Structure formats: C-alpha cells, structure tokens
Amino acid sequence: MPSALTAWLDGFDFHRADAPLPFSRLHEPLMAAAAYLLFAIVANASVAAPWRRALATWSDASSWFIVWSVLHNAFLVVFSLAVMGGIFVDGTALARERGFYALLCPPVADEGGLMKGRALAWAYLFYLIKFYELVDTLLLAIRGKKIIPLHIYHHLVMLPTMWSCFNGELLLCLLMASFFNSLVHVIMYTFYGTTSLKMKVPLALKKAVTKVQIVQFVMGALGGSTFVVLYVRQPRLSFPYFTQGCAGEPYAIVATTCINLSFLVMFSSFFRTTYRKEK
C-alpha cells in the first residue's frame, strides 16, 4: 500500500477542523441530493421526447457507451472489494483493540472522538463513492429508461444518511453498513456489468440481487434494535426520559432506523410486485 495512503488512513479524522473533508458539512450532501432529485425529475419528464429516444437509440448501438457502462460497473466492483477488505482488516484490528462490545456500544465518554482511524477512513471512502454512484441514474437516463421511485429514493437518501452516521458518531453502524453494502454492490454491479454486455441474465440471479439487499436491511433492523436497547438505559417519565448508555446522537439513531425500515419495506414490496409479474 502506498505510504501516502497509509498515512492518510492512520491519521483520518472526520471532524478535523483545520481542513474540513469533502462532504463533511451538511449542506454539501443536501445540495448534491437536491441536484440529483432535479435531474431525475427532468429525466422522467422528458423520457418521451424525440431527443431522448434518439439518445436511447444511439446508446443501444454505440460501442463507446457499452465500454463506459462496463468500466463504470467494473470500477464499482473493484472499489467495493477494496472497501470490504479494508473494513474487515482494520475493523477486526479495532475490535481486538477495544473489544467488540465497545464497538457495539461505545462508551459515552468517547463521544466526539470515535470517527478517527483506519477503519473509519474506509467507511468515509464508502461514503464518497455514494456521490459517484449517481452516475447509475445518468446511464439509465441515456438509455431512455424511466427512473423508478425506488431507485431515486435509494440514491437520494444515502447521501444525508451516511453524513448523519458520521456526524452522529454511529461507529458500528458505519462499519457494518459499509461492509455489507459493499458486499451487495459486488454482486449488484457484477450483474449490471453483465447486462451492459447484453448478456442474458437468468431470472434467479435477478431475484438473488434483490434478496441479498433485503437480507442486508433485515440485519440492519436487528442490529439497530439491539443498539437502541443498549442506548436507552433507565427509562423514566420525566425529562430527560432515559440515561444514555452508548455514544451516539439521538437524531442520527432515529434517522438511520427510519431509513433502514423504509428500505426494507420498499425493497420487499418491489420484490413481490416485480417477480410476481415476471413469474
């Protein structure tokens, strides 16, 4: 590994004040999400326009577009593998150093200093790639496809959600989401790369991609529920209504829990609706 990358990983600090990291301030992912939403709305509104049909015809016959699509998906497969490897190696080292329970429920005294070190640097790289993944929608639009609401919602909310995980000090949430979502992306972008080459993909493989995504959200719901149980200590009827048992900001916990549950519901509904039609 290059020495410059090693030094950056070792010295990573999401909250550094001297030189704020790209997209570490809330307005940045919000602006990106707003621009993305505007693009998706315009793309869907113009899907029947003659120039869009001409663009779709070009993309279907252009070898340049096929190469672009294949390289885009191949890059995301390789990147996802790198993040998985980095999270596994450095996350395991962090667990050995602190103990797994300290990752699951970091001490409140550590709050404000959790987003540092190598494992979190890999999670930050995972966060950054969310912005590049918006190219998925661009490729679909060029092909003349209508962008479905689930696709838009998924790409849209991941930007502020990942920011809230970092800013809200949700250590294990970041590590687990980065690892398992990268695993899903290895499978998903391999699938997309295959379809970019106009190869026939079995229905079972298409269903497997969505099933893996649903399993990811089920695991997120179970992990999030466990964390909430540990987080809320000594509940009471007067303010403050509980004693905080783990490090983490309440707004981030509520936001990530709601987003994960919304993904679980929407992907499950998509699976039932789509593959009932396919069958």
**Mean pLDDT score, 190-199:** 86
How many whole angstroms separate alpha carbon 6 and alpha carbon 11?
Answer: 9
How many whole angstroms separate alpha carbon 54 and alpha carbon 158?
Answer: 32
Percent of residues in the chain assigned helix, strand, coil, to nearest 5? 75, 0, 25
Please report which confidence band the pLDDT of residue 182 belongs to, taking 50, 70 and 90 as the band edges: very high
Phi-psi region of 106 (alpha: psi -120 to 50; beta: other; left: phi over 0): beta
Using the predicted structure, report yes or no on whether residue 268 has a pLDDT greater than 90: yes
How many whole angstroms separate alpha carbon 13 and alpha carbon 20?
Answer: 9
Using the predicted structure, report yes or no on whether residue 122 has a pLDDT greater than 60: yes
- Cis previous bond, 29, omega within 30: no
Note the pLDDT tens digit of each residue in 101-112. 988 999 998 887
- Cis previous bond, 149, omega within 30: no
Query: Is the Cβ–Cβ distance between 169 and 115 less than 8 Å?
Result: yes
Q: What percent of the chain has pLDDT over 70?
A: 99
How many whole angstroms separate alpha carbon 160 and alpha carbon 112?
Answer: 19
Using the predicted structure, report yes or no on whether residue 279 has a pLDDT greater than 60: no
Confidence at residue 111, expressed as pLDDT on a 0 to 100 scale: 80
Give, for 91, the enclosing helix (H) or strand (E). helix 63-98
Using the predicted structure, report yes or no on whether residue 84 has a pLDDT greater than 60: yes
Q: Output 111 or 138, whichever has higher pLDDT.
A: 138
* Interacting residues of 227 by C-beta distance below 8 A, sequence separation 6+: 104, 105, 172, 173, 246, 248, 253
Confidence at residue 253, expressed as pLDDT on a 0 to 100 scale: 94
Confidence at residue 199, expressed as pLDDT on a 0 to 100 scale: 80
Confidence at residue 1, expressed as pLDDT on a 0 to 100 scale: 63
Using the predicted structure, report yes or no on whether residue 271 has a pLDDT greater than 70: yes
Note the pLDDT tens digit of each residue in 65-79. 999 999 999 999 999
How many whole angstroms separate alpha carbon 208 and alpha carbon 216?
Answer: 12
pTM of the model: 0.93
Q: What is the mean pLDDT of the chain?
A: 91
Note the pLDDT tens digit of each residue in 6-64. 888 889 999 987 888 999 999 999 999 999 999 999 999 999 999 999 999 999 989 99
**Mean pLDDT score, 79-104:** 94
